[in-house]
């Protein structure tokens, strides 16, 4: 039997706080409840999230709205082919006025970093960001400087346009807890979005001005600590590991997920359980987070791509085959 590690009071408080956070995001984002849910999972895990979608679906807007919901420091980097590592992490220069070396901290020193169109930067710049994502610190002139806490990178990329882009290295992809896909809105959602943008407004985009700040960084850290204490039964953990191990033997996948995939499933499953008001993880939590947690950690074979099968198709079929614990 699963031992509950969190009190009912803490679970209820966390659930209310997350509900308020989600309610603020829906003021700026029309529809897309799954995307909002997955971004909040990444925030609860203090993990990095890659958001993929065609232009105009609100990727940048979502991150801006999230940054406004809590009283932390948010910064944005527009990635371009001429972006240098110093533009991300900062640099050290000699100040003639004081005759001293001065360190200028780059935009990576933030609680929430929006890396817009991350795949447009060259490998050298992406490597500078990788250290920040992996070690939560940066190195300037041989000195290691810790990043603020909490620290989260939300990166966006366009899946269609490939000209002038640099594919993210596997090591960096693996550092994203989730890869979120934003799809086109439904007809009703698109009509509501169009109405909201054009109603007594001269602009052409949704705004985050109506989003209120409802949380402090300290509260975010407290919620992240709650997630770490969500109970995981041994059978649920074995189920997560079985899913990841199955990706290594699935026809149609040339490369399966590594052990970090199992860790991602458990971390994301815990966050989802807390958001749903539970102090324990169930198999359905693992199944619900499997696609965003694993789609960027597997590689479809060429013959599968020719048949029009994506990583999501192959993972969905795999999930139907791996038996889940029933008790």
What pLDDT, in 10s, does the model give residues 206-245?
Answer: 567 788 888 888 889 999 999 999 999 999 999 999 999 9
**CA–CA distance, 148 with 142 (Å, rounded to integer):** 19
Q: What is the mean pLDDT of residues 321-325?
A: 91
Q: What is the pLDDT of residue 40?
A: 92
Band of pLDDT at residue 160, cut at 50, 70 and 90:
low
| pLDDT attached to residue 104 | 79
What's the confidence (pLDDT) of residue 202? Answer: 55
Q: What is the pTM of this model?
A: 0.87
Whether the Cβ atoms of residue 47 and residue 177 lie closer than 8 Å to each other: yes
- Residue 62's pLDDT band, with cuts at 50, 70 and 90, is confident
Say which residues have a Cβ less than 8 Å from residue 100's Cβ, sequence separation at least 6. 94
Does residue 217 contact residue 72 with C-beta atoms inside 8 Å? yes
Q: Rounded mean pLDDT of 271-300?
A: 93
pLDDT at 88 over 90: no
Residue in 174, 327, 317 with CA at minimum distance from that of residue 246: 317
Where in the chain are the domains? 30-203
The H-assigned helical ranges of the chain are 8-28, 33-44, 59-69, 85-89, 123-135, 170-173, 187-198, 217-228, 234-246, 259-275, 283-294, 302-306, 311-321
- For residue 152, pLDDT beyond 80: yes
**CATH for the stretch 30-203:** 3.40.50.300
Asked whether residue 201 carries a pLDDT value surpassing 80, the answer given is no
């Amino acid at each position: 039997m699963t031992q509950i590690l969190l009190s009912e009071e803490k679970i209820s408080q966390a659930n209310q706080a997350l509900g308020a956070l989600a309610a603020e995001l829906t003021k700026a984002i029309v529809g897309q409840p799954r995307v909002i849910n997955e971004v909040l999972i990444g925030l609860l895990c203090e993990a990095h999230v890659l958001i993929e979608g065609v232009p105009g679906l609100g990727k940048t807007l979502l991150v801006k709205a999230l940054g406004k919901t809590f009283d932390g420091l948010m910064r944005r980097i527009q990635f371009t082919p001429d972006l240098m590592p110093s533009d991300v992490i900062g640099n050290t220069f000699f100040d003639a006025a004081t005759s001293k070396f001065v360190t200028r901290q780059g935009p990576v020193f933030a609680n929430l970093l929006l890396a817009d169109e991350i795949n447009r930067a060259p490998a050298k710049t992406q490597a500078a960001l990788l250290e920040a994502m992996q070690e939560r610190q940066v190195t300037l002139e041989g000195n290691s400087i810790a990043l603020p806490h909490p620290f989260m990178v939300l990166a966006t990329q366009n899946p269609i346009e490939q000209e002038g882009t640099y594919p993210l290295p596997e090591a960096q992809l693996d550092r994203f807890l989730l890869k979120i896909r934003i799809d086109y809105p439904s007809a009703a959602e698109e009509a509501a979005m169009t109405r909201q943008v054009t109603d007594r407004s001269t602009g052409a985009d949704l705004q985050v001005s109506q989003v209120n700040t409802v949380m402090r960084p300290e509260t975010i850290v407290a919620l992240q600590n709650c997630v770490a204490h969500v109970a995981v039964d041994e059978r649920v953990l074995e189920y997560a590991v079985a899913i990841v191990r199955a990706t290594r033997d699935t026809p149609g996948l040339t490369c399966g997920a590594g052990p970090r995939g199992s860790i991602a499933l458990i971390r994301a499953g815990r966050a989802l359980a807390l958001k749903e008001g539970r102090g324990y993880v169930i198999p359905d939590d693992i199944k619900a987070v499997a696609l965003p947690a694993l789609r960027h950690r597997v590689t479809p074979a060429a013959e599968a791509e020719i048949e029009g099968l994506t990583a999501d198709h192959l993972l969905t079929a795999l999930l139907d085959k791996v038996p889940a614990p029933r008790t």
